[in-house]
Amino acid sequence: MSEESKLRAFWRLQTFAVGSWLVVGSGLHAVLTPFPERWRKTAPYIRRWAALGARCLGVRVLLEGTVPPAGSLVVANHQGYVDIVSLGSLFPCIFVARHDMRRWPLFGQLAASGATIFLNRENKRAGVRGVAQVREALKVGATVIAFPEGTSTDGTGLLPFRTGVFQAAIDAQAPVVPAAIRYLTLDGRPLDEHSRSVVGWYQGEPFVRHLLRLGSHHHVEVAIRLGEPLWPPHPQRRELAACAEEEVFRLLGLPQGRRPERVGREAAGERGAV
């Protein structure tokens, strides 16, 4: 990494860190609002924060499709933290995240302050509680983004969707919107095996090191396709999850059932639990 690239990365991350807390400060009244209303009031500030993150990381989003109606459950494939700022910059939203995200530098503290719902897939009781929180957020009109693969991948395929979060949409009678995230170029060049690992975070690289490596580049181009909502009344959660998974495969332009070549971390527990 050249000195110029290092300076670019540190300047971007410093700007992102300072700007993030300014966004939190501007939305302090929302942060202090009791749940479940807090989820709805916080959503516009999460969009503002994500848009800031996208600018700081040089992410250029190409959107295809219609922004989901408020109170939707948006389910997407997952390649890493760049998904968060890319998809989250498009509409007011809150996120469902793995419980260990709380420990991430910068992102973890911001997620906790931004009303992120943490799902603990290693503890059944905690997982059920997280799904119940998603249900309540949907009921008050917050749009919730979830990554039901349960972990990040290299984007060459799709893992079977876990079904727990779909139960929240069934209980809340909320529309489910499939979304496909495809990273196209890095600094204007089509992604290859090496550059894919610069954009996606799935190889176990320390978080800050990966963030600095990504920030040293000029820009990333990402295409996001939003499918048509799956409206209630819904079938049982396994069938609903299968329908959403099939649609994400189609939106990605991948053959049905293709699995990724590299997976960041297999989520613990029986697949489909949460």
At position 240, the amino acid (one-letter code) is: L
pLDDT of 131 strictly over 90: yes
Beta bridge partners of 62: 223
Length of the chain: 274
What beta strand segments (E) does 32-175 contain?
59-64, 73-76, 94-98, 117-119, 144-146
| 109 Cβ contact list (under 8 Å, min separation 6) | none
What beta strand segments (E) does 67-210 contain?
73-76, 94-98, 117-119, 144-146, 176-186, 189-190
220-226 and 94-98 beta bridge pairing = unpaired
Contact 71, 141 (CB under 8 A): yes
pLDDT of 139 strictly over 90: yes
DSSP codes joined into one string, 212-266: HHHHTSS-EEEEEEE---BPSSP--HHHHHHHHHHHHHHHHT--TTPPPS-BS-P
- Residue 71 has, within 13 A of its CA and on its CB side, a CA count of 15
User: Can you give the residue ranges of every domain in the chain?
Assistant: 3-252
Closest CA to 217 of 48, 50, 63, 2: 2
pLDDT of 30 strictly over 60: yes
Using 50, 70 and 90 to split pLDDT, how confident is the model at 267?
very low
Q: What is the pLDDT of residues 194-239, one digit of tens each?
A: 999 999 999 889 988 999 999 999 999 999 999 999 999 999 999 9
Structural fold of domain 3-252? Glycerol-3-phosphate (1)-acyltransferase (3.40.1130)
Q: What is the pLDDT of residues 33-47, one digit of tens each?
A: 999 999 999 999 999
